[in-house]
Amino acid sequence: MSDRQQPPSGAPKVGGLAGDDIGYDSEEWAAVRPRRITPEQWQQFEGYMREIFTALGMPVGSPPTVDTPRRFLRALFEATSGYEGDEKLVTAFPTECRGGPDCRISQVVEGPIPFFALCEHHSLPFFGAAYVGYVAHEHILGLSKLTRLLRLFARRFSVQERIGQQLADALVRILEPHGVAVHLEAVHLCTQMRGVREIESSTRTTYWRGSYETEDQLRMEFFDLCGPRSTGRGRT
């Protein structure tokens, strides 16, 4: 990763992290959209975190906590590795479709695919599972790429709605399929461990593109195949 700035010793190795963590282990992937954080900034940020944790009551400096500011920043950096990488590196395979209405194959449904994200309002985790379906046209996707794409969008500061939308739209761009369906089920710590402290409910969001928007049968088949009837809890 020649052109990438490395954080100081305590921070994660940027070059390895982004690619490995999202699932693209090539340098090409990791170099696509590196975050520019200088060693001086990392030192500065650790100082800020030390101050904040101390003000909140943590006895920073005791043996177990002396490295907590650094650990916290590393964890945050790792959890937001989706800012690095690019959907353009996801390649599709051609099908044998020759075009026309008879080329349609049945839908592909993958899930539950676990994900973890940080809510952009509180920077607290929300997590659960995604179900992804598509009806291919001239291209299909390697199954693992659905997981990699989901992680690309989930490992950011986001909201559940945006992750589903980004995933659906990326699949439309990459595959130009007949249709795409994305269903996410997640629980949000910002509503569970603070605020309303609502621990029983989960949040479910669904996106339809193309033929799923118009064909009831396809939507029913999607839900039958993925069976997203419980919360994301216990699946991650």
Ligand X SMILES: Nc1nc2c(ncn2[C@@H]2O[C@H](COP(=O)(O)OP(=O)(O)OP(=O)(O)O)[C@@H](O)[C@H]2O)c(=O)[nH]1
For ligand X, the binding residues (CB under 6 A) are 119, 121, 159-161, 188, 190-191, 195-196
Q: Does 190 bind Zn ion (CB under 5 A)?
A: yes
The item of Zn ion, ligand X, none sharing an interface with residue 195, based on CB under 5 to 8 Å by kind, is ligand X
Q: Does 13 bind Zn ion (CB under 5 A)?
A: no
Output 30 or 119, the one with its CB closest to Zn ion. Answer: 119
DSSP assignment of 66-91 = TTHHHHHHHHHHHHTGGGSS-GGG--
Which residues, 6+ apart, have CB-to-CB distance to 154 below 8 Å? 82, 115, 116, 117, 163
Applying CB under 5 A, among 104, 122, 233, 235 the residue interacting with Zn ion is 122
Whether residue 115 contacts residue 151, with contact meaning beta carbons closer than 8 Å, is answered with yes
Question: Would you call 103 helix, strand, or coil by DSSP?
Answer: helix
Spatial separation of the C-alpha atoms in residues 157 and 83, rounded to whole Å: 9
Spatial separation of the C-alpha atoms in residues 123 and 2, rounded to whole Å: 31
Q: Does 139 bind Zn ion (CB under 5 A)?
A: no
Closest CA to 167 of 122, 117, 202: 117
Output 103 or 190, the one with its CB closest to Zn ion. Answer: 190
Tell me how far, at minimum, the Cβ of 198 lies from Zn ion, in Å: 12
Tell me how far, at minimum, the Cβ of 228 lies from Zn ion, in Å: 22
Output 150 or 175, the one with its CB closest to ligand X. Answer: 150
Number of residues in contact with Zn ion under rule CB under 5 A:
4
Question: Would you call 206 helix, strand, or coil by DSSP?
Answer: strand
The item of ligand X, Zn ion, none sharing an interface with residue 225, based on CB under 5 to 8 Å by kind, is none
Question: Would you call 42 helix, strand, or coil by DSSP?
Answer: helix
Whether residue 163 contacts residue 152, with contact meaning beta carbons closer than 8 Å, is answered with no
Output 142 or 195, the one with its CB closest to ligand X. Answer: 195
The item of Zn ion, ligand X, none sharing an interface with residue 1, based on CB under 5 to 8 Å by kind, is none
Q: Does 121 bind Zn ion (CB under 5 A)?
A: yes
- Name the site residues for Zn ion (rule: CB under 5 A): 119, 121-122, 190
